[in-house]
């Protein structure tokens, strides 16, 4: 369960929101993160050869995300229970959580 989802451009619908800034192959900004996609945006991206974008997954409620965060935290606590280096664990764990939850 992820807050963001990667979709093929053919599956993107008008009104979806970009999760992050969309860059071209040279690092130039095509669209800033948070842009609500329009038909003209999608057409322009297709012309520029963009095949997929990462959008906000509106099908997940905040309650579902909270449940998933708790489940993930319990799972990671169990996996890292024997970790001896607290400093490394304290750096790694938040990164894993952000990655897994797509935040």
pLDDT range class, residue 45, cuts 50, 70, 90: very high
Report the top-level CATH class of 4-56. alpha beta
pLDDT range class, residue 101, cuts 50, 70, 90: low
For the chain, the average pLDDT equals 84
Q: Are the beta carbons of 41 and 98 closer than 8 angstroms? A: no
Over pLDDT 90: what percentage of the chain? 36
pLDDT range class, residue 32, cuts 50, 70, 90: very high
For residue 92, count other CB atoms closer than 10 A to its CB. Answer: 14
pLDDT range class, residue 22, cuts 50, 70, 90: very high
Return the pLDDT at 83.
76
Three-class SS of residue 56?
Answer: strand
Return the pLDDT at 61.
73
Return the pLDDT at 30.
93
Going from N- to C-terminal start, the domains of the chain cover 4-56, 62-101
* Dist CA 92 CA 88 (whole Å): 6
Instruction: Name every residue whose Cβ is closer than 8 Å to that of residue 60 and which is 6 or more positions away in sequence.
Output: 1, 2, 3
């Amino acid at each position: 369960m992820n807050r963001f989802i990667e979709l093929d451009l053919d599956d993107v619908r008008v009104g979806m929101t970009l999760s992050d800034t969309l860059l071209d192959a040279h690092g130039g900004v095509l669209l800033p993160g948070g842009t609500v996609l329009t038909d003209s945006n999608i057409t322009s991206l297709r012309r520029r050869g963009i095949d997929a974008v990462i959008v906000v997954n509106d099908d997940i409620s905040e309650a579902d995300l909270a449940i998933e965060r708790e489940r993930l935290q319990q799972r990671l606590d169990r996996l890292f229970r024997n970790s001896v280096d607290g400093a490394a664990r304290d750096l790694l764990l938040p990164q894993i959580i952000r990655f897994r939850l797509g935040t």
